[in-house]
C-alpha cells in the first residue's frame, strides 16, 4: 500500500498518478474482502464501483487536458472542464462532502483495519 501511495503522490504525469491510485484501490479491495461475509462482499462491490467511476472520470479529465494543452503533466491543468472533472473525481475517491454517499455504507460493511485505511491512508494518496 505504501509504494502505491507514494507512486501516486510523487508522479507528475496523469497516467502514472492514475496507476498509483489504481494500485492503492486494488490493495484496499483485498483488505475489504478479507472476511468472507455478505456485508463485506457488498462493501467491496460498492467500493469498487465508486472507485471505478472516479478513476474513469479522472482519465477523462486527463484526456480533456491533453486535448486542450497537448501535455500529460498534472501541473499544467489550465482548462476549466478538466479541472472540474479532476476535482470531482478526487473528491469521489476521497469520499468528500458532496459525493460521500458511498463512504458510510462501505465503512459499515468493512473490517476495522480496512476502515481505518479507507478513512486515513486513502486521503493521503488522493
Mean pLDDT of the chain: 87
Per-residue model confidence (pLDDT) at position 84 = 94
Structural domain harbouring 102 = 2-125
Number of Cβ atoms within 10 Å of the Cβ of 68: 15
pTM for the structure as a whole? 0.85
Query: Domain count of the chain?
Result: 1
Sort 71 into a burial class: Cβ within 10 Å, 0-12 / 13-18 / 19+. middle
Per-residue model confidence (pLDDT) at position 89 = 92
Closest CA to 20 of 1, 7, 33: 7
Amino acid at each position: 500500500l505504501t509504494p502505491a501511495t507514494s507512486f501516486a503522490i510523487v508522479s507528475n504525469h496523469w497516467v502514472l498518478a492514475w496507476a498509483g491510485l489504481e494500485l492503492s484501490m486494488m490493495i484496499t479491495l483485498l483488505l475489504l474482502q478479507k472476511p468472507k461475509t455478505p456485508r463485506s462482499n457488498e462493501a467491496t462491490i460498492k467500493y469498487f464501483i465508486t472507485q471505478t467511476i472516479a478513476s474513469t472520470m479522472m482519465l477523462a479529465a486527463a484526456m480533456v487536458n491533453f486535448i486542450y494543452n497537448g501535455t500529460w503533466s498534472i501541473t499544467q491543468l489550465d482548462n476549466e472542464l478538466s479541472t472540474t472533472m479532476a476535482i470531482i473525481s478526487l473528491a469521489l475517491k476521497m469520499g468528500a462532502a458532496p459525493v460521500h454517499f458511498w463512504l458510510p455504507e462501505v465503512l459499515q460493511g468493512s473490517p476495522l483495519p480496512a476502515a481505518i485505511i479507507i478513512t486515513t491512508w486513502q486521503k493521503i494518496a488522493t
